Structure 1
Amino acid sequence: MTVNGTAPATTPAGRPASRAGSPIRISDVDIRFGEFVAVRGASLDIAAGELVCLLGPSGCGKSTLLNAVAGFVRPAAGEVTCGGEPVTGPDVSRGVVFQSAEALFPWLTVRQNVAFGPQMRGVPKAQRDAVVERYLAMVGLAHSAERFPEQLSGGMRQRAQLARVLANDPSVVLMDEPFGALDAQTRLVMQVELDRIWRETGATIVFVTHDIGEAILLGDRIVTMTAGPSAAIKKDYRCDLPRPRDLTDPACAALFRELREDIGAEVARTLRAQGLDDGHDGRPGADHTNDDRTEGR
């Protein structure tokens, strides 16, 4: 594992050099909402086929920066490119998986949800059916294809949402805390499944999370952000640990501690700015007072 302020994007070790994914470049990007500066001076290069996790405390601009890559928001300054082309708006080549499974159409079956994008793009039925079957099988929903979203568990709905995105054959998949609402066991299963699907598709994935362990389990790189407003890229950790990863492994545990200190410093800065600082450094379960109170419980 190496750490750099601006680590160059490279093809992941042990991965094929020829990838289906597209490179992403974020160049000195500012994002404003009126007078409010959400992100300032963000620069980041992501190689084709990388899985990069954006990690930071709540409200630090992770999702906002992801939305700029998706084309949902326009930077006030700087530029975002994907595959060398400027991002000027949403595009089918950049699929988005949201945290809420409400993004699925509740009146359509799983099969119909997955087929929706190819159908709107005019893909012939025989080809469309083959695409749908492929991705239903890939996410493990082939036997639930005729169910409606309300008949699925949370994890199954997220699988369906991922299949719907993949059916459009995107070169980039953007994931905004997609497993955040799931129970711990289902979340772990989905993390393992995402790692497998990423390897099968070769897409470039940008994954937003505030969960340090999740970032370590998934990321080729883990990019931390400072607390907002005017959030910026803080550090770029190249996570070259072998897969599959185990958080109890000494190398993973050491990286966890380093990231906890990194993010904890931003949490503490936010608390101080709000006048709520009580010696808290962002590390859950640590005692930082003289009266035996434990912070972060």
Structure 2
Amino acid sequence: MTKAIETDRRETGSAPGRGAAVSVDGVGIRFGSFQAVSNISLDIAAGEFLCLLGPSGCGKSTLLSAMAGFEAVSEGDLRVGGTPITGPHPGLGMVFQSSEALFDWMTVRQNVAFGPRMRGATRAAQTKLADEYLGLVGLRHCADRFPGQLSGGMRQRVQIARVLANEPGVVLMDEPFGALDAQTRQVMQEETDRIWRASGCTVVFVTHDIDEAILLADRIAVMTAGPAASVKSVYPVDLPRPRDEADPAAAELRRALRADIGEEVRKALRDQGLDPGLDQDVDLKGNLR
């Protein structure tokens, strides 16, 4: 059985591909008197795919924003490739949940070429990079369309291509498929696994979905319920790719993750005054069924 461990300090040296290591060392984040996360330590190896999983409001997106340089840490240290993260970093790319991050007035190719253009690349280099990464996400045939002419899943693939065109060592993904229908979400999960393996990037992926984490991750870090959330346990996912949800080992890991997160959800609801007798009527996002 894959076993959870309370801490996990992996070697973060060089690895095949262009991915960069991320070090999270004793990180805490406060907003005024509110402690969002506390004493989080994770070493994410170069080229690794790490999923952050936990109940709603546990600070997963807050931690990801700090990794992106959008939020300042109150305690501890964040580094990418050994360099402290003190603000937005050229080695980091962020894929948001909403595809509204795309520029509606630009074509798909212009959206993907935007980063290289801002870096001063020649027009020929911009076009070459845009076409390369649109090819990687399977959308080269849409290069001259506008985002509003694409489906939700296609717009998210454009957003991924735009991030990859900046050639970051680390890609941060904040529930990027949360707004998609179930069928499109499944396709995007499969595509993300393929694109990650092709690009060699390090990926940190926030999700509420246990099955999504099992499908994608090398490791899954489970966070405690907030406030002052921390890392409860880390599970290595020792399953061959592409993943088979019917694999008995996947089912066993799913049961362990459900129990781990369910414990945190029930704790949070009891802290909010919920009758413990209602525990069994609560889903893993903390909603009454």
- The answer, yes or no, to whether TM exceeds 0.5 is yes
Q: Could you give the per-residue CA deviations for residues 99-155 of structure 1, whole angstroms, max 9, x where no partner exists?
A: 011010111111110010000100112222111111001111111111111111110
1:1-297 superposed matches below 5 A: 1-9=2-10, 17-281=15-279, 297=289
Superposed displacement of residue 36, structure 1: 0.5
Identity %: 61
TM-score (norm 2): 0.94
Counterparts of 1:83 and 1:105, CA distance in 2:
30
Q: Note the residue ranges of structure 1 that are not aligned, 5 or more in a row.
A: 287-294
Superposed displacement of residue 274, structure 1: 1.2
Contact 1:7/1:238 (<8 A) preserved: no
Distance 1:102 1:282, change over 3 A: farther
Superposed displacement of residue 296, structure 1: 5.3
Distance 1:61 1:282, change over 3 A: farther
How many equivalent pairs are there?
285
Contact 1:267/1:282 (<8 A) preserved: no
- Structure 1 range deviating more: 2-11 or 23-32: 2-11
Root mean square deviation of aligned Cα: 1.8
Q: Which residue of 2 aligns with 1:291?
A: none
Contact 2:15/2:46 (<8 A) preserved: no
Q: Alignment partner of 2:138: what SS?
A: coil
Distance 1:149 1:282, change over 3 A: farther
Q: Note the residue ranges of structure 2 that are not aligned, 5 or more in a row.
A: none
Counterparts of 1:253 and 1:173, CA distance in 2:
28
Q: Which residue of 2 aligns with 1:292?
A: none
TM-score (norm 1): 0.92
Q: Structure 1: which amino acid aligns with 2:4?
A: V
Counterparts of 2:281 and 2:27, CA distance in 1:
30
Q: Structure 2: which amino acid aligns with 1:7?
A: D
Q: Alignment partner of 1:279: what SS?
A: helix
Counterparts of 1:47 and 1:68, CA distance in 2:
18
Q: Alignment partner of 2:277: what SS?
A: coil
Q: Could you give the per-residue CA deviations for residues 44-71 of structure 1, whole angstroms, max 9, x where no partner exists?
A: 1000000000000110000000111100
Q: Which residue of 2 aligns with 1:289?
A: none
Contact 2:92/2:170 (<8 A) preserved: yes
Q: Could you give the per-residue CA deviations for residues 69-96 of structure 1, whole angstroms, max 9, x where no partner exists?
A: 1000111110100000100000221000
Contact 1:172/1:205 (<8 A) preserved: yes
Q: Structure 2: which amino acid aligns with 1:270?
A: A
